Amino acid sequence: MQDENLFAALRGEVLAALETLAPGLAPEVLARVEVTPTKDPAHGDMATNAAMIAAKPAGKNPRELAAGLVEKLSAHPGMTKAEAAGPGFVNLTLSPALLLAQLPVILAVQEGYGQGTSRGRKINVEYVSANPTGPLHVGHCRGAVVGDALSNLLAKAGYDVTKEFYINDAGAQVLALARSVYVRYLEALKLSPEAYIETVPGGMQYGGAYLIPIGEALAEKYGDEYAETPEANWLDIFRDFAVARMLEMIREDLAALGVNHDVFSSERALVENGGVERGLQRLRDQGLIYRGILEPPKGKTPDDWEPREQELFRATEFGDDVDRPIAKSDGSYTYFANDIAYHADKVFRGFPEMIDVWGADHGGYVKRMQAAVKALAGDTKARLDLVLCQIVKVMKDGAPVKMSKRAGTFVELRDLIDEVGPDAVRFLILMRKSDAQMDFDLNAAVAQTRENPVFYVQYAHARCRSVLRAAAAPSADVDFSSLTAPEEMALLRRLITWPRLVEQAAEAREPHRVAFFLYDLASDFHALWNAGRDNTALRFLQEDKPAETAARIGLVAATAIVLRSGLAVLGVNPVEEMR
């Protein structure tokens, strides 16, 4: 059986050759040896830096070592040419047969091509985690898409992924929600809420119309039972009811974007079942919590600053800049304490790796959270990675779209999805590195041209499908050796980088690389298609040449398979035809 990842396979050959030339190199040195695709076709198909990496530790000259590698590797049956180049690269030109042998592999395993094999590595990805106080707005969109695509990518790379949503239902915000709903409840009963609103510190915080039906539902359920009664009678009931409804709404919004979490974790449940103490105990046991007084932040002393003794976590022992408060001066816990508990809970649930996807405005919390996880992990060596998402500016006709609640334009995520569709939203967001600010161009998102990458990639898939509909079913059991045109080989070379790309993008936690790969793959396919326009000999379906046609159908089918699996990672639909 041919190895799915040709780069990994050849890396094995290189390492074996290296071992005979320079035995006993340290694993850290060998880990840096790469076999990569070349940028310039003049450098062959693949290149390795092995000689340059190993030269110093082996006490040898890199060019000399490269020459030795060339000699060993030239003996490989799949190698047409191996040569030393530049400061000590070894360039490898593979035989067409070796490259073509990947096509039956793709056709045999279908969408399984590129599936990683690190079975059972558990990882938890937490994303969105919006307050359950209203519908999702455009600002949540990026985290939702990035977190979801990252989860798919990790699963593709072989992780056992749990997609998690943390419900912030324990704080003051959900109480404010309950009070706002109470106002709508009174209105539904045709009672005047003004007198009640007077009594609420800060007034009605959530004035959106979306709470009106919730108030009506409560009026229907309870009648006037809670009208003009003290908060204590209804606050918990109204909060729970409203939070449940808000979560329903949020899940619908997410579903419209194609986002579905596996687990919804309630902060309140964690607090009520003693999770906070359980988590903090782990730190107390290690003597990492003490009472102390923090210095005011330099250069920005708040006017009302007074030194106060608080319970602090020794974050500085784990790489943070200052120790962080876990309790307020009145003794109640800070949000950070609950976050520690939540991450402790994830450690207890057996996740050796976890990822949080946050908005960039939480960048200041990265160090303390990582410090906390390091402290909690103990000998489990659990580790937390953070993916920060910068803000998205929505643009139309070259100008930013005002996101004003009063103007009612593009506040809610739903508006954006309705305007351009979930596929465009997801793909365009994933065409940017998550930690760079981005402009979301509404005009480009709906354009049916090359400048719209969603269209361009989906169009490539539709073209594949259109060819395959007109042809006999593809088979892995055919002779592919008639595939020789430069455009065909370029497409094939791109296809075989897919397993490597999955691995590297997952390792870097960068789903955007998949979007760029798909764009490049689509570009290679369109180039072949266009070449067939001028040169009829390059068309896929050749009358009277069944062998050539079968080989080409195989290439097209393999292209469709990889396009589909890439789009599946991004959560974008592979369309059958363009309408």
Q: Total residues contacting RNA (rule CB under 7 A)?
A: 99
Of 136, 411, 467, 483, the one binding RNA by CB under 7 A: 467
Q: Tell me the pairing of strands 392-396 and 399-400.
A: antiparallel
Stretch that binds RNA, among 100-108, 149-157, 275-283, 360-368 (CB under 7 A): 360-368
| Of 201-209, 276-284, 292-300, 403-411: span binding RNA (CB under 7 A) | 292-300
Can you say whether the dihedral through the CA atoms of 407, 413, 416, 419 is positive or negative? negative
Cβ distance to RNA smaller for residue 219 or 554: 554
Segment 212-251, which members bind RNA (CB under 7 A)?
Answer: none
d(CA 343, CA 283): 12
Helix (H, G, I), strand (E, B) or coil at 170: coil
Window 100-159: residues binding RNA (CB under 7 A): 131
CA-to-CA distance for 565 and 571, rounded, in angstroms? 10
Helix (H) or strand (E) run with residue 392 in it: strand 392-396
Given the complex with RNA, which of 191 and 316 has the nearer CB atom? 316
Q: Cβ closer to RNA: 80 or 131?
A: 131
Q: Which pair of structure tokens corresponds to residue 157?
A: 């790379």
Report CA-CA distances (Å) from 18 to 49, 52, 94, 98: 11, 11, 19, 22
Angle, CA of 531, 535 and 539, to the nearest 5°: 75
> Contacts with RNA in 482-541 (CB under 7 A)?
504, 507-510, 512-513, 516, 519, 523, 526-530, 532-533, 539-541
Q: Given candidates 190, 291, 298, 469, which one binds RNA under the rule CB under 7 A?
A: 298
Q: What are the tokens at 63?
A: 């060019």
The dihedral built from the CA positions of residue 570, 571, 577 and 579, taken in this order, carries a sign that is negative
Smaller CB separation from RNA, 186 or 339: 339
Stretch that binds RNA, among 225-233, 239-247, 407-415, 432-440 (CB under 7 A): 432-440
Out of 2, 448, 475, 484, the only residue in the binding site for RNA (CB under 7 A) is: 448
Q: How far is the CB of 176 from RNA (least distance, A)?
A: 10
Of the candidate residues 247, 366, 471, 568, the single one contacting RNA (CB under 7 A): 366
- Residues in 33-72 at the binding interface with RNA, rule: CB under 7 A: 34, 36-40, 42-43, 47, 49, 52-53, 56, 62
Three-class SS state of 82: strand
Q: Nearest distance from residue 61's CB to RNA, in Å?
A: 10
Q: Does 88 bind RNA (CB under 7 A)?
A: yes
Q: How far apart are alpha carbons 230 and 218 in whole angstroms? A: 16
Instruction: Please state the closest distance from residue 222 (CB atom) to RNA, in A.
Output: 27
Instruction: Give the nearer residue to RNA in terms of CB position, either 131 or 188.
Output: 131
The letter for the amino acid at 93 is: T
Q: Which of 119, 291, 381, 579 binds RNA (CB under 7 A)?
A: 579
Q: What is the rounded CA–CA span in Å between residue 355 and residue 164?
A: 10
CB of 577 to RNA, least distance (A): 7
* Cα–Cα distance, 242 to 240 (Å, whole number): 6
Residue 227 CB, nearest approach to RNA (Å): 28
Q: In the bound complex, what is the minimum distance in angstroms from residue 3's beta carbon to RNA?
A: 18
Q: Is 405 in the site for RNA (CB under 7 A)?
A: no
C-beta of 189 vs 491, nearer to RNA: 491
Choice from 152, 168, 180, 565 touching RNA (CB under 7 A): 168
The span of 68-76, 115-123, 216-224, 354-362 binding RNA (CB under 7 A) equals 354-362
**Between residues 226 and 410, which has the closer beta carbon with respect to RNA?**
410
At 158, which amino acid appears?
G
Query: Per CB under 7 A, does 201 bind RNA?
Result: no
Sheet holding 438-441, edge to edge: 399-400, 392-396, 438-441
Interface with RNA in residues 309-348 (CB under 7 A): 310, 321, 325, 328-330, 334-336
Give CA–CA dist 64/55, Å, rounded. Answer: 9
* Residues 6+ away with beta carbon under 8 Å from 217: 241, 245
Min dist. Cβ of residue 72 to RNA (A): 17
Determine the Cα–Cα distance for residues 365 and 372; give it in Å rounded to an integer: 11
Angstrom distance (rounded) from CA 105 to CA 42: 27
Q: What angle do CA 266, 270, 271 make, to 5 degrees?
A: 115
Task: Report the residue number, 57 or 352, with the smaller CB distance to RNA.
Answer: 57
Return the range that interacts with RNA (CB under 7 A); candidates 102-110, 226-234, 437-445, 474-482: 437-445
Q: What is the rounded CA–CA span in Å between residue 156 and residue 172? A: 39
Nearer of residues 219 and 506 to RNA, judged by Cβ: 506
Helix axes 512-534, 422-430, angle to 10 degrees: 100
Taking the complex as a whole, the smallest distance from the CB of residue 501 to RNA amounts, in Å, to 7
The Cβ of residue 130 has, within 10 Å, a number of other Cβ atoms equal to: 24
CA distance 310 to 318: 20
CB of 534 to RNA, least distance (A): 7
* Closest approach of RNA to the CB of residue 157, in Å: 13
* Other Cβ atoms closer than 10 A to 303: 4
From 120-128, 142-150, 284-292, 430-438, span contacting RNA (CB under 7 A)? 430-438
